[in-house]
Structure 1
Amino acid sequence: MTAVHPLHSICPYFAMFPPGFVERYVLAFTEPGDVVFDPFSGRGTTVFESLLLNRRAYGLDINPVAACVSGAKADPPTVAALLRRIAQLREQFSDMGVAQVPNTEFFEACFAPSTLKQIVFLRNSLNWTSSKVDRFIAAMALGCLHGESHKSLNCFSNRMPRTISTKPDYSVRWWAANGYEAPVRDVFDILAAQVKFRFARGVPSISGEARLGDVRNATAMFRKLQGAVQLVVTSPPYLDTTDYGEDQWLRLWFLGGAERPKGRIFADARHGTSQAYWAFLTAAWTGIAGLLAPNCTIVIRIGGMSFAPADLEEGVYTSLRNGLGCNSLEIVQPLNVSEIRNRQTNVFRPGTKGKRVEYDFVLRAA
């Protein structure tokens, strides 16, 4: 297994699997030039690792944070273009000043005043949906926006997890109780240094694509891939584990969202019942069915606190059979079970230390 490319860690994401997980299945079930697809692309691990292995790779996610980060890694710009744009943004910020910053207790405690002005300027200036240069800068900013700033000079915020954004009221109380203050950071300096670090090992020889959209519309959105996908490697949202609208709220704000968390804003976020969850996944598999080549291998990492192992297996098998319209499934590899360890939320949110388990399925429609 090769060393992890620094672009993989540009922005952490909840329930992300490691690059080696993707590498193992890409090498086992595809050849160079084959098509790999991830309908829940998250931080883009499947897409980027597949590109590094010279496979054509595509992804899709309904969460703007995921689409921004995955898209940035799927089709990165040049170092020169990024450094020119960061220098231009710095000059514009110096010349033009900045729009009014959020006037809330959270933002005042989360960021130093000078840092917040730079962040708001970038939020208002970056056109991440149509410029791949701006998208990459936005993705880097998302990865630096919050984190353990007492350990890393690359984090813009007061102390927070890097993986999730803690709620405003809880954060303010926690910072005040512990005497924590926001560090002064120069956002432009950090972004320029990040470019040099992230590109230290170059980029893949081919580019891919990751889009913002609903998995249930995947076949319509990727018409050029119909019948061409040889491998799916994905991790759907876990039942009762996270609400991406709430837990990614600060990054969503940076991309143009609200100044306060809003739950249940994505159709494939956390579901309250197993019945609704399996209905959603059935519809998701229907959404990608038209993209799959004959004998396509499907790798799924999935979990959830509410499932007994037998119920989880039955749910995966039934949703795939019904969603893909197949009579049976070939089990390519035995089910693998692993415990989730060292979760960052254990430090920042008391009461989150319960044991959680993930399951890996490797299957083919038959």
Structure 2
Amino acid sequence: MREMLDSKAFNQSIIDFDGLETSTHLVPFEWEVDGQTGTIMKAFNEYWTSRQRQAHSLHEISYRACFKPQLPRFFIERLTQPGDAIYDPFMGRGTTPMEAFLLGRKPLGNDINPLSRVLLQPRLNPPTIKEIEKRLNEIDLSQAEEEYSGLLAFFHENTLREIIALKEYLLKREESGEIDNVDAWIRMVAINRLTGHSQGFFSTYTLPPNQAVSIKRQEKINAERNQVPKYREIKPRIIKKSKSLLKDWTALESSEMNLSCVLTTGDSRFVSGIEDNSAQLVVTSPPFLDVVNYQSDNWMRCWFIGIDSSNINISQLKNIGKWETTMTGVLTDLRRIVKPGGHIAFEVGEVRGGKILLEENVVRCGVMAGLEPIIIVINEQEFTKTANAWGVDNQSKGTNTNRIVVFRKN
């Protein structure tokens, strides 16, 4: 087990890092905030590998603009010990809390989108394949009340009937308080199989991968490809994806991990459900400047869980001043939540072709929140196939480096 490092030792480990046989390149950054000044290093290297397959299978659900599990693991292993609490106020699909859980730490998480909790919680208490198969056999998908003809652009009418029947079953179970970890798991997997680009999804071929385009856009895709949605039975696809997600999960693991989690839904500046001085480490990545539209990406997933995505107040800030004000508020709440001596790893990517270096703005926000910046870790990698599939290249919208400002709470 790796030894937990203090700030000084962590900084030195970043500077001396040669784990992937590359040396660290250091660039000093001088900051000034309201008369306070300081200098910290930007440390450039490839600190973790870009090979996604090194991650645990439970991470393998689709969500736009999420960082790889190797990022939180890098900081969790160096700045915490087993049993410590790890928090993410923008948890998205839940990468940080999930990795914390798998490393024997207590997961704490928040997101303003209720979808995040629905995606994460079942993976912290997975059922067995036998339990999933038994439950699916008990659910009648032959009758559905809701009609949504627009979705026939994505699904065969019989597939759509099954999807709506499953949606109605799950909502009734939730309303009656009967929903359990097996139902929650089935819901999470169904959300991830709704739309995509292969036979494993419920939909006909669609773009971008694993996310819902608008109905009008899908009608255009169908016309361009001369395609009509074919019937795809949803139960076997849920079972197949469940087996894939659970392939690395063992009974030994589950028996050893009795870690309580706290997952909340709300504004990340005012998270009342997470106690003061409770987290040893925060690893998070906030919404960048209008790089990703989470609402339009997740409209169908939200529909499936009975939520109108247009009513979720997800920050989509295009103005850097407003973004800084919001992030200062977030970091102020993180200062409340982190234990004295604990750390915050706050990740931003390149935006607007690298013309805006958000890590420098983040340093100012953290200082205004009363935190001490100690180093900026910049992980450089080759751009991935996944990002290219989004129509994103190194010179356009999107990111190709992880830029993480590390703060300490004194």
TM-score where L is the length of structure 2: 0.76
Instruction: Assess, with a 3 A threshold, how the Cα gap between structure 1 residues 228 and 240 changes in structure 2: closer, same or farther.
Output: same
Given candidates 112, 126, 141, the residue that maps to 2:156 is 112
**Aligned counterparts of 1:277 and 1:141: Cα–Cα separation in 2:** 34
1:1-366 pair list within 5 angstroms: 3-9=54-60, 11-89=61-139, 92-94=140-142, 97-104=143-150, 107-127=151-171, 131=179, 132-149=181-198, 153-160=199-206, 161-202=208-249, 204=254, 205-207=257-259, 208-218=261-271, 220-223=272-275, 226-258=276-308, 262=310, 265-303=311-349, 305-306=351-352, 311-323=357-369, 325-326=370-371, 328-331=372-375, 334-337=377-380, 340-343=383-386, 347=389, 354=396, 356-357=398-399, 358=401, 359-366=403-410
Tell me the equivalent position of 2:46: none
Aligned match of 2:29? none
Describe the superposition over 1:159-206 as per-residue Cα deviations: whole angstroms up to 9, x where unpaired.
Answer: 223343212212211221121232321111211233333223325423
Q: d(CA) in 2 for partners of 1:286 and 1:217?
A: 9
Measure the CA separation in 1 of the matches of 2:245 and 2:186: 12
Q: Deviations over 1:118-158 (max 9, x none)?
A: 10111111148663332221110111111112xxx321112
Distance 1:365 1:290 in 2: 9
Stretches of structure 1 that go unaligned for 5 or more consecutive residues are: none
**How far has the Cα of 1:110 moved from its partner?**
0.5
Amino acid at match of 2:162: Q
Q: CA separation of 1:304/1:291 partners in 2, compared to 1, >3 Å: closer, same or farther?
A: same
Q: Report the CA distance between 1:74 and its aligned residue.
A: 2.6
User: Identity, % of aligned pairs?
Assistant: 26
**Residue 122 to residue 353, structure 1, CA distance change in 2 (3 Å):** farther
1:247-286 per-position Cα deviation (integer Å, ceiling 9, x unaligned): 111111111134xx74xx4333321211111111111122
| 1:59–1:70 contact (8 Å) kept in structure 2 | no
Deviation of 1:351 (Å) = 10
Instruction: Give the number of aligned pairs.
Output: 345
> What letter corresponds to residue 251 of structure 1 in structure 2?
R
> Is the contact between residue 353 and residue 397 of structure 2 (CA under 8 Å) also seen in structure 1?
no
Provide Cα deviations, 1:30-56, integer angstroms capped at 9, x if missing partner. 111111111111111111111111111
Which one-letter code corresponds to 2:161 in the other structure?
K
SS in 2 for 1:252: helix
CA contact (8 A) 2:113 2:312 kept: yes
User: 1:299 touches 1:363 (CA, 8 Å); kept in 2?
Assistant: yes
Partner of 2:18: none
How big is the shift at 1:349?
Answer: 6.3
The separation in 1 between residues aligned to 2:242 and 2:385, in whole angstroms, is 28
- Aligned pair in 2 of structure 1 residues 307, 283: CA closer, same or farther (>3 Å)? farther
Relative to structure 1, the CA distance from residue 148 to residue 282 in structure 2 (aligned partners, 3 Å threshold; closer, same or farther) is: same
- Please give the alpha-carbon distance, in whole angstroms, between the structure 2 residues aligned to 1:238 and 1:338: 19
Letter in 1 for 2:294: Y
- TM-score normalised by structure 1 residue count: 0.85
SS of the counterpart of 2:141? helix
Q: Aligned partners of 2:341, 2:355: CA distance in 1, in Å?
A: 26
Instruction: Assess if the C-alpha contact under 8 Å between 2:363 and 2:405 holds in 1.
Output: no
Secondary structure, counterpart of 1:36 in structure 2: strand
- What amino acid is aligned across from residue 23 of structure 1 in structure 2? R
Amino acid at match of 2:77: L
Query: What does the per-residue CA deviation read over 1:207-248, in whole Å, with 9 as the maximum and x for residues that have no partner?
Result: 434332221222x1123xx21211111111111111211111
Unaligned stretches of 5+ residues in structure 2: 1-48
Of structures 1 and 2, the larger Rg is shown by 2
Q: Could you tell me how far 1:320 is from its partner in structure 2? A: 1.6
CA–CA distance in 2 between the matches of 1:167 and 1:114? Answer: 21
Does structure 2 conserve the Cα–Cα contact (< 8 Å) formed by 1:330 and 1:365?
no
For 2:247, what is the secondary structure of its paired residue?
A: coil
Contact 1:6 1:199 in 2 (8 A): yes
Q: Residues 274 and 185 (structure 1 numbering): CA distance in 2 closer, same or farther, change over 3 Å?
A: same
CA contact (8 A) 2:129 2:239 kept: no
